[in-house]
Structure 1
Amino acid sequence: MSHRAPPAWLQAAPLALTFAFFFVIPLALIAMVSLWDYNEYELIPAFTLRNYQDIFSGCSNTADWCVTLRTYASTLKFCVIVWAVTLVLGFTIAYFLAFHVRTPAMQTVLFLLCTIPFWTSNVIRMISWVPLLGRNGLINQTLQSLGLIEAPIEWLLFSDFSVVLAFVHLYTMFMIVPIFNSMMRIDRSLIEAARDSGASGWQTLWHVVIPLSRTGILIGSIFIITIVMGDFVTVGVMGGQQIASVGKVIQVQTSYLQFPIAAANAVILLAVVVLIIYALTRLVDIRKEL
């Protein structure tokens, strides 16, 4: 006796409820709080656009960027640089694992080596750079002992360089995994056909491997962009609390219990990230490629 399958809406209900409870409702609450008023002592649940006005106050002056625009420019700068570096590193490592490591066992071992840093806290991994990059760190001491520099290099730590370095160290794996997954799905006969047709290694890479890996590249890019845009711990620790980012601004505002304006900043940040992801998905239709 065959059993009828439950209707489609019932099958989708658990996932829909989970999505609503952990995603839709929290976002709705943030949007609601962003429209509340507040003072030094309390939140006032009254509709107001003052928080958004305060965020963009002074931005009408085209001669000098306001604090908000400068903060977003700084955040986008880190996002673009980290995305570019992780894309190059992630693609190179994934290509090596997919096409130059022949045995699945060795691929697994190398993948485990890549994941070892994730066994510890992100903060500990960031702090581990301080003895290397500090003014009296190992790198400066080594360069001075070799006579290559006379004074310690100041920009190695608590600078844009150290922030980018930490981001790349922490998040390159998020680029490697989806690209590697896309490369492993490439039919190897296509590679052989390109070589048999006289294509060089670079031509095969450009015309076969990269186009067939674009889904992984896009997914990895979305991971990197969403993480870097909202990160405040890395910027705070590796920037010495001196470098501005949108996530850092939100964290400071919440620490001062300015929840409505922090929520407004979060809504604006979400809108910016969604626009970036939308622009990326216009380049590649993920649903079609998957």
Structure 2
Amino acid sequence: MKSARTAAIAWAQASPLAAVFALFFVVPLALVLVVSFWQATEYELLPAFTGQNYIDVFAGCPVNADGDLCVTFKTYLSTLKFGVLTWAITAVLGFSIAWFLAFHVQGTLMQTVLFIVCTVPFWTSNVIRMISWVPLLGRNGLVNQTLMGAGLVDEPVDWLLFSDFSVVLAFVHLYTMFMIVPIFNSMMRIDRSLLEAARDNGASPWQTMVHVVLPLSRTGLIIGSIFVLALVMGDFVTVGVMGGQQIASVGKVIQVQTSYLQFPMAAANAVILLAVVLMMIAALMRLVNLRKEL
């Protein structure tokens, strides 16, 4: 009787959150899945079951008649390229900054102040932060003027803006904080006596970081990786703004299809993208038992 009562109380406590989760997450995803099997004409949506949308997404795949990769595969490779590059850079930056805050900054107050400083860019809109790069990286921007003034280049460098470089730069600017926070949290939970033991046994700072800090920070690194990869894979605003509407990504394709009212095709692409992201997250989750670690 007591166990049943305890279980009922637990379910009652979890039900509000479960209802919110179902209403704002499960139901929208289910609707996207349903719409992905609908038909569409130039004027209306037809709630008739068909798998043609998925067939159209992979039309000509894996290679087309010319022997090149199909458009869908090229788009996913482009998106994965941005995801991997952004993940690698943010992982290095996030780990380095978290290492500095956790082990080289003395005092909780100073750690808190510097941590808040890292969050300052999040006080403004993502779009504003992206647009702020334009006067810096454009042909007549500050960077090109500085390079030409120093005699390092004879003419403006075109690839600084509206290129893969500018897209990755913007992604790193936007999402590094999502890597810093979980890694910093993991590092703050490390027993400092382990570092002292490593030093007492003759380990160098590099060996201590590689063999002690990095394994114990793995949970934070995996959580940060999930955040960054999921955000980059679905982002279309950054690719559109910093790529000059010239660079393809899956999120951008979905946005364009939605703007042309091709909702079933956009929904099919969204379902496929979700499946790819979930597989990436599942692969990362196999590297660490988050339920046990947290």
Tell me if both proteins adopt one fold, taking TM over 0.5 as the criterion.
Answer: yes
Does 2:168 align with 1:171?
no
Partner secondary structure for residue 124 of structure 1: helix
- From 188, 191, 196, give the equivalent of 1:192: 196
1:48 paired residue number? 50
2:11 paired residue number? 9
User: Once the 2 structures are TM-superposed, how far is the Cα of residue 281 of structure 1 from its aligned partner?
Assistant: 0.6
- Separation (CA, whole Å) in 2 of partners of 1:70 and 1:148: 35
User: Once the 2 structures are TM-superposed, how far is the Cα of residue 134 of structure 1 from its aligned partner?
Assistant: 0.2
How much identity, in percent, do the aligned residues show?
A: 74
TM-score by length of 2: 0.96
- Separation (CA, whole Å) in 2 of partners of 1:6 and 1:271: 34
- Separation (CA, whole Å) in 1 of partners of 2:286 and 2:279: 11
1:253 paired residue number? 257
- Separation (CA, whole Å) in 1 of partners of 2:6 and 2:236: 51
User: Once the 2 structures are TM-superposed, how far is the Cα of residue 5 of structure 1 from its aligned partner?
Assistant: 8.4
2:21 paired residue number? 19
1:205-228 residue CA offsets vs partner (Å, 9 max, x unmatched): 111100000000000000000000
1:78 paired residue number? 82
> C-alpha root-mean-square deviation of aligned residues, in Å?
1.3
- From 60, 73, 81, give the equivalent of 1:58: 60
1:93 paired residue number? 97
- From 126, 136, 139, give the equivalent of 2:143: 139
Does 2:236 align with 1:227?
no
Contact between 2:38 and 2:50, CA under 8 Å: does it hold in 1?
yes
Structure 1 ranges of 4+ moved more than 6 A: none
User: Once the 2 structures are TM-superposed, how far is the Cα of residue 61 of structure 1 from its aligned partner?
Assistant: 2.8
Structure 1 letter corresponding to 2:11: W
TM-score by length of 1: 0.97
Partner secondary structure for residue 151 of structure 2: coil
1:100-133 residue CA offsets vs partner (Å, 9 max, x unmatched): 0011111111111111111111111001000110
- Separation (CA, whole Å) in 2 of partners of 1:27 and 1:4: 32
Does 2:152 align with 1:148?
yes
- From 122, 128, 131, give the equivalent of 1:124: 128
| Gap regions ≥5 residues in structure 2 | none
- Separation (CA, whole Å) in 1 of partners of 2:147 and 2:281: 42
User: Once the 2 structures are TM-superposed, how far is the Cα of residue 268 of structure 1 from its aligned partner?
Assistant: 0.2
- Separation (CA, whole Å) in 2 of partners of 1:80 and 1:143: 29
| Gap regions ≥5 residues in structure 1 | none
